[in-house]
Amino acid sequence: MADKPFGKHPDFIVREMSPFNGGPPLNLLVENQLTPTELFFSRNHGDIPEVDAASYRLEVSGLVEQPLTFSLAELTSRFPSVDAAATLQCAGNRRQELIDRKPIPNELPWGAEAISHAAWRGLRLSDVLAAAGLAQGAAHVEFIGLDETERHGERFNFGGSIPLKDALSGEVLLAYEMNAAPLEPVHGFPLRVVAPGIIGARSVKWLKEIRVQPEPSHNYFQRVAYRLFPPDVDSQNVVWEQGMMLNENSLTSVICTPAESENPPAGAVTVRGYALAGGERSIARVELSADGGRSWTQCELLGEDAPGIWRLWQAQLDLALGEHELVVRAVDSAANAQPPDVEQIWNFKGYMNSAWHRQKIEIKQSD
Ligand code: MTE
């Protein structure tokens, strides 16, 4: 099989080469609680910058008492290192199901593979902000990357912001290691934000600057993109400022195996997948149906019960010959449930698909 770029696994699904975008096949994604780096999805809006670690500097500016500049060595020697597992998910994960309802032009047709889970090592954003000291009026923390992209004839660096209360939570990391190795270039070497519970777009890679501001980032990817609109809004009638700026992930759950093409034999079939809750919430329950949602089986939840991390799950179904529609749905620790279909949540940018996930399988006579 042809070599995949950026050290990715031979089976990695490349959705776009330039900028590089892709993710793992779902059967491999669900094999490990920690996604191996070669399978970890990647979402990029521009070219991958090559950063020289020795001359790299991080700036902390804006509404701070003391603007600061750090080399990597200064960051790692001054601030305690923290280890944390966290899941990243793109706001466009599961867009293809929305596209199946109604076309969404000019956006990546992600399946359910724009999500992965890794062990990160880094420093706490809150420690760095405390060192700079917050000035009066500080309310949002903007992150700016070293990569450049172009929209409407203008070149600019990728960026976005999170509310200050999230930035101060102690959960947001400035990570320099992923799965016990320095960050790979495609994942943000030498330093990136990891903001658990928040859409992947705010986990800015190749972090160049942290700017404390009174309002959210004016970057295109906060001001225009990554906003949520009602189903009747489209590119013709959109008023960008009226869209909701996305921040926390929504609740989702997905069937990863068996795949539609698998045709397992009749009898006991093990079904496996993932579920993720947003913000500070965790997964309370995952349920699976083999009859399109009329009756439900409780799934076994694997791994750790904690906010900001996914929950792999499995269940055994007894399936007879013929076609079945498998459906999964989850409930989170705030008792939020998922909508049964994409009808109410369809939006013309194709973000935050939180609908029940459905998978058709056919059980065939074994030879
Ligand atoms: N940071 C920079 N600088 N440039 C980007 O294009 N993409 C964002 C985020 N950080 C992006 C970025 C998006 S949309 C996502 S989902 C995550 O990175 C993906 O991180 P990964 O490529 O490590 O999986």
Q: pLDDT (tens digit, 9 = 90+) per residue, 245-294?
A: 999 999 999 999 999 888 899 999 999 999 999 999 999 999 999 999 99
Query: What predicted TM-score, i.e. pTM, was given to this entire model?
Result: 0.97
Note the pLDDT of residue 303: 96
Ligand 1 close to Cβ of residue 21 (< 6 A): no
| Residue minimizing CA distance to atom 9 of ligand 1 | 201
43, 47, 252, best to mutate for ligand 1 pocket (most atoms within 8 Å of CB) = 43
Which ligand 1 atom is at minimum distance from the Cα of 221?
14
Burial 175-200 (b: 16+ CB within 10 A, else e): bbebbeeebbbbbbbbbbbbbbbbbb
Instruction: Give the largest Cα separation in the chain, rounded.
Output: 73
Tell how far the Cα of 298 is from the centroid of ligand 1, in angstroms. Answer: 34
Confidence of residue 3 (pLDDT cuts 50, 70, 90): confident
Rounded Cα distance between 46 and 149, Å, is 5
Note the pLDDT of residue 2: 61
| Residue of higher predicted confidence among 367 and 123 | 123
Q: pLDDT (tens digit, 9 = 90+) per residue, 170-222?
A: 899 999 999 999 999 999 999 999 999 999 999 999 999 999 999 999 999 99
Q: Is the dihedral of CA 277, 281, 282, 285 positive or negative?
A: negative
DSSP 290: S
Q: To which residue do tokens 């620790």 refer?
A: 333
Burial 290-320 (b: 16+ CB within 10 A, else e): beebeebeebebebeeebbbbbbbbbebebe
* Type of residue numbered 319: L
With beta carbons less than 8 A apart as the criterion, state whether 284 and 323 touch: no
Ligand 1 close to Cβ of residue 187 (< 6 A): yes
Which ligand 1 atom is at minimum distance from the Cα of 89?
16
Tokens, residue 52: 């020289």
β-pair partners for 209: 59, 144
* Type of residue numbered 283: I
Rounded Cα distance between 201 and 173, Å, is 14
Question: What is the H or E stretch that residue 286 is in?
Answer: strand 283-289
* Type of residue numbered 256: C
